[in-house]
């Protein structure tokens, strides 16, 4: 109960403190983090909380982190063996409220149930979460554009 009250108080000063989940769909060969997310990650890095990367195969590059301007002392990376483990770890981390932002890298789009679990956890912890997954090759060949879904409530 106390955690919820703290999250609500924080949300009055910072629009992202309410906690939301956004999906980022990308092509594997495009630098989505550097061009799209880096400004937001830098902003969230100014908070007192940590930045968490949950991955299965991706490894953060220390030189890239140093060049990006992200706070090295606030960066945490956890490697998970399966997408199921990543969903469970992301849900727990979102609930704690210890992180400004959590990026979860997945091999494909999550189920509606998993998305709902993560959304509820983000709201409980007042944390911003990104669900990252690659665009499948069929959509790429058909000419469909990659997609980013960001909730407009952050900008109004």
- At residue 21, the pLDDT reads 94
* H or E element at residue 100: strand 99-105
**What's the CA gap between 99 and 76, in Å, rounded?**
10
pLDDT tens digits, one per residue of 45-95: 999 999 999 987 777 888 888 888 889 999 999 988 888 889 999 999 999
- At residue 146, the pLDDT reads 44
Look at the block and give the residue holding tokens 């199921």: 84
**What's the CA gap between 138 and 74, in Å, rounded?**
38
Q: What percent of the chain has pLDDT over 70?
A: 71
Torsions phi, psi of 54, nearest 5? -110, 115
**What's the CA gap between 106 and 57, in Å, rounded?**
10
Ordered by start, the domain boundaries in the chain are 2-151
Torsions phi, psi of 84, nearest 5? -60, -45
Answer with the residue of higher pLDDT: 34 or 44: 44
Cβ–Cβ contacts within 10 Å for residue 103, how many?
22
What are 23's strand-pairing partners?
Answer: 131, 149
* H or E element at residue 76: strand 75-79
**What's the CA gap between 108 and 116, in Å, rounded?**
16
What are 105's strand-pairing partners?
Answer: 132
Q: How far is CA 70 from the centre of its chain?
A: 15
* Arch. (CATH architecture) of 2-151: 3-Layer(aba) Sandwich (3.40)
**What's the CA gap between 115 and 156, in Å, rounded?**
23
pLDDT of residue 152 exceeding 50, the answer is no
């Amino acid at each position: 109960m106390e955690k919820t009250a703290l999250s609500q108080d924080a949300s009055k000063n910072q629009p992202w403190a309410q906690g939301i989940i956004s999906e980022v769909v990308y092509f594997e060969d495009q630098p989505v983090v550097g061009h799209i997310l880096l400004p937001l990650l830098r902003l969230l890095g100014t908070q007192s909380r940590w930045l968490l990367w949950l991955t299965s195969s991706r490894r953060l590059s220390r030189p890239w982190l140093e060049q990006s301007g992200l706070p090295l002392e606030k960066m945490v990376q956890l490697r998970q063996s399966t997408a199921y483990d990543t969903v469970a770890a992301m849900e727990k981390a979102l609930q704690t409220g210890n992180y400004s932002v959590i990026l979860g890298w997945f091999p494909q789009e999550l189920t509606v149930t998993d998305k709902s679990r993560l959304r509820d956890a983000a709201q409980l912890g007042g944390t911003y979460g990104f669900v990252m997954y690659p665009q499948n090759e069929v959509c790429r060949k058909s000419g469909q554009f990659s997609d980013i879904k960001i909730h407009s409530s952050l900008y109004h």
